[in-house]
Amino acid sequence: MSPVFAGVLQLLALIGALALAYVPLGNYMARVYASDKHWRVEKWIYKGIGANPDTEMRWTAYLRGVLAFSAAGVLFLYLLQRLQGSLPGSPGFSSIEPAQAFDTAASFVTNTNWQSYAGEQAMGHVVQTAGLAVQNFVSAAVGIAVAVALVRGFARSRTGELGNFWADLVRGTVRVLVPVAAVAAVVLVACGAIQNFSGIHEVGQFMGGSQQWNGGAVASQEAIKELGTNGGGYFNANSAHPFENPTPFTNLFEIFLILVIPLALTRTFGVMVGSVKQGYAILATMVTIWVGFVALLMWTEFAHHGPALQAAGGAMEGKETRFGVGASALFGVSTTLTSTGAVDSFHSSFTGLGGGITMLGMMLGEIAPGGVGSGLYGMLIMAIIAVFIAGLMVGRTPEYLGKKIGSREIKLAACYILVTPALVLIFTAASVALPTPPNSMRGSGAHGFSEVLYAFTSASNNNGSAFAGLNANTDWYNTTTGLAMLFGRFVPMVFVLALAGSLAGQRPVPATAGTLRTEKPLFTGLLVGAILIITGLTYFPALALGPLAEGLA
Amino acid sequence: MNHSVTNTVRLFGAGLRALLMLTLVTGVIYPLLVTGVAQGLFHDKANGSEITAHGKVVGSSLIGQSYDLPLKKGQETPDPDLKWFQGRPANGLGSNSVNTQYKLLLSGATNLSADSKDLLRQVQDAKAAVVRNNSVPGYTVKPSQVPAEAVTSSGSGLDPDISPRYAKIQVHRVAERNGLSVGQVEKLVKDKTEGRTVGFIGEPRVNVLELNVALKDLVARR
pLDDT tens digits, one per residue of A337-347: 999 999 999 99
- The continuous run of DSSP H or E covering A210 comes out as strand A210-214
Residues of A within 8 A of B20 (CB-CB) are 48
Please name every residue paired with B68 in a beta bridge, in sequence order, or none if there are none: B80
User: What type of residue is A351?
Assistant: T
Q: How many CB pairs under 8 A join A and B?
A: 399
From A367's Cα to the closest Cα of chain B, the distance in A is: 27
Q: pLDDT tens digits, residue range A268-304?
A: 999 999 999 999 999 999 999 999 999 999 999 999 9
Q: pLDDT tens digits, residue range B46-99?
A: 999 999 998 999 999 999 999 999 998 888 889 999 999 999 999 999 888 899
Q: pLDDT tens digits, residue range A72-106?
A: 999 999 999 999 999 887 888 999 999 999 999 99
Nearest to A322 by CA among A259, A257, A242, A243: A242
Question: What's the helix, strand, coil split of chain B in %, to 5?
Answer: 50, 10, 40
Cβ separation B111–A346 shorter than 8 A: yes
Rounded Cα–Cα distance for residues A470 and A203 (Å): 32
Residue A445 binned pLDDT confidence (cut-offs 50, 70, 90): confident
Q: Which pLDDT does position A199 carry in this prediction?
A: 86
Provide φ and ψ at B132, rounded to 5°. -65, -50
| A549 near B CB under 8 A | no
Rounded Cα–Cα distance for residues A485 and A18 (Å): 29
Give the 3-state secondary structure of residue B35.
Answer: helix
| A88 near B CB under 8 A | no
Q: Which pLDDT does position A395 carry in this prediction?
A: 86
| CA nearest to B152 within chain A | A317
Ranges of each domain in chain B:
1-47, 49-221
pTM for the full model?
A: 0.97
Residue A468 binned pLDDT confidence (cut-offs 50, 70, 90): confident
| A43 near B CB under 8 A | no
Q: Which pLDDT does position B1 carry in this prediction?
A: 53
Out of B88, B109, B203, whose CB is closest to A346?
Answer: B109
Rounded Cα–Cα distance for residues B28 and B212 (Å): 41
From B181's Cα to the closest Cα of chain A, the distance in A is: 23
Q: Is the confidence at residue A3, as pLDDT, over 80?
A: yes
- Which residues 341-380 of A have a C-beta within 8 angstroms of B? 343-346, 348-352, 355
Nearest to B18 by CA among A487, A220, A175, A44: A44
- Rg from Cα positions in chain B: 24
Q: Which residue has the higher pLDDT, B198 or A89?
A: B198
Ranges of each domain in chain A:
377-552
- Distance from the first to the final alpha carbon of chain A: 33
Cβ separation B48–A243 shorter than 8 A: yes
Q: Is the confidence at residue B2, as pLDDT, over 80?
A: no
Average pLDDT over chain A, rounded to an integer: 96
Provide φ and ψ at B116, rounded to 5°. -80, 135
Nearest to A73 by CA among A104, A52, A43: A104
Burial class of residue B84 in the structure, from the number of CB atoms within 10 Å of its CB (0-12 exposed, 13-18 middle, 19+ buried): buried
From A116's Cα to the closest Cα of chain B, the distance in A is: 13
Residues of chain A above pLDDT 70, percent: 100
Residue B169 binned pLDDT confidence (cut-offs 50, 70, 90): very high
Selected for mutation to probe chain B from A316, A452, A454 (highest B CB count within 10 Å) is A316
Q: Which pLDDT does position A266 carry in this prediction?
A: 98
Q: Which pLDDT does position A397 carry in this prediction?
A: 85
For A295-315, what is the mean pLDDT? 96
Selected for mutation to probe chain A from B22, B29, B33, B124 (highest A CB count within 10 Å) is B22
No. of helices (H) and no. of strands (E), chain A: 21, 4
- Which residues 153-172 of A have a C-beta within 8 angstroms of B? 166, 169-170
| A207 near B CB under 8 A | yes
Residues of A within 8 A of B108 (CB-CB) are 118, 236-237, 468
- The continuous run of DSSP H or E covering B205 comes out as strand B205-207
ipTM topping 0.90 = yes
Rounded Cα–Cα distance for residues B171 and A448 (Å): 41
